[in-house]
Structure 1
Amino acid sequence: MRHLISMLLQNEAGALARVAGLFASRGYNIESLTVAATHDVEASRLTLVVFGDDAVVEQIIKQTAKLVDVIEIAEITLREHVERELLVTHVEAGAAAVDACLAQFGGRLLQRAGNQSVAEFTGRAEEVDSFLDALRLVGNIVDHARSGIAAIERPIAMA
């Protein structure tokens, strides 16, 4: 099963390595990892995705919560949340074809020179995959970079 885990870490050297090391020591490959400072410069938000057995991942989360650098940790897979991934891609294709893909998916052109375009797209991982598939149908993907998933819980609606 896919597990989406969100945590706040102290924003200091070695914190990320300790968390990643704990997952690696249990034999779990981290499929996606995104980390950046939050509005509080002393804390970083880390979002990671792993696939694995529910009970084992739950145990790893409990062990991760005990690390000195971890301020807060939660599996948000089944909670109301928003997740997005950023794609920046260099595609070789006709301008009209690229523009049609951008319009269809809501992407944005960053740069163009002849039949070379650099574009960005933000969406759920499946949407990023679909956007790349659409671009492959009209041209050649020269290169691309994906950010990994960033996620946050949705606010609870007030009654």
Structure 2
Amino acid sequence: MHIKEETKERHTLSVIVDNEPGILARIAGLFTARGYNIESLTVTDISEDDLISRITIVTSASADVMDQIIAQLERLVPVHKVVDLTALGPHVERELALVKVGGTGDHRIEALRLADVYRARVVDATTSSFIFEVTGGTEKIDTFVSLMREVGLIEVARTGIVAISRGKEAA
């Protein structure tokens, strides 16, 4: 008997929570305990009074597993709302990366040329290195980093994905 394996798809979740100590650990623990992988995780306060935060989680799972993840997140007490932005429809995702590149001569010129093409901004420069700031979708960041490997990549720091639904409605 052959059991059909469900296809995993990438999902971006927006989780609105009370801004209280330990909530991030509880959410990460939920994923860890069930063997789910978190590919990207960002957290920020979204209210004037510092009481509410948005946690953006990117994970890959089958439709059934995604339903389980959402149901389990919704059961956590400080969670107000969980929205699967991927299932909801059109949404905007962005990431920021700081990319340190070293080099001299032609490699330095090529790094600057590529940065211009990818609309990366120089945020620090020395005679032997640059730090570029680049924002965009994950594929754009991945490609930029890959190209910088060829001209002297030293180090990369990435924020993780932030996302918001399109249109006038809140997620």
Q: Under TM normalisation by the shorter chain, which class is it?
A: over 0.9
Aligned residues: 156
In 1, the alpha carbon distance for the partners of 2:29 and 2:90 equals 28
Pairwise CA distance, 1:96: 2.1
Name which of 75, 94, 113 aligns with 1:66. 75
Is the aligned partner of 1:6 residue 2:19?
A: no
1:35 counterpart (43, 47, 50): 43
- Calculate the aligned-residue CA RMSD, in Å: 1.4
Within the alignment, does 1:121 sit opposite 2:131 as a pair? no
Distance 1:22 1:115 in 2: 45
Which of 29, 53, 74 lines up with 1:21 in the alignment?
29
Runs of 4+ in 1 over 3 A off after TM superposition: none
Give yes or no for the alignment of 1:84 onto 2:94: yes
Structure with the higher strand share, 1 or 2: 1
Opposite residue 46 of structure 1, the aligned amino acid is: I
Bigger radius of gyration, 1 or 2? 2
Residues 61-111 of structure 1: per-residue CA shift (max 9 Å, x gap): 111111111011111113110001110011113442222111100110011
Show CA shifts across 1:104-130 (max 9, x none): 001100111113111110110000001
Measure how far apart 1:56 and its partner are.
Answer: 1.2
TM-score (norm 2): 0.86
1:156 Cα deviation from its structure 2 partner: 4.1
Q: Aligned partners of 2:168, 2:19: CA distance in 1, in Å?
A: 27
Which segment is superposed worse, 4-13 or 94-103? Answer: 94-103
Find out whether 1:96 has 2:109 as its counterpart.
Answer: yes
Moved more, 143-152 or 32-41: 32-41
Structure 2 counterpart of 1:91, one-letter code: V
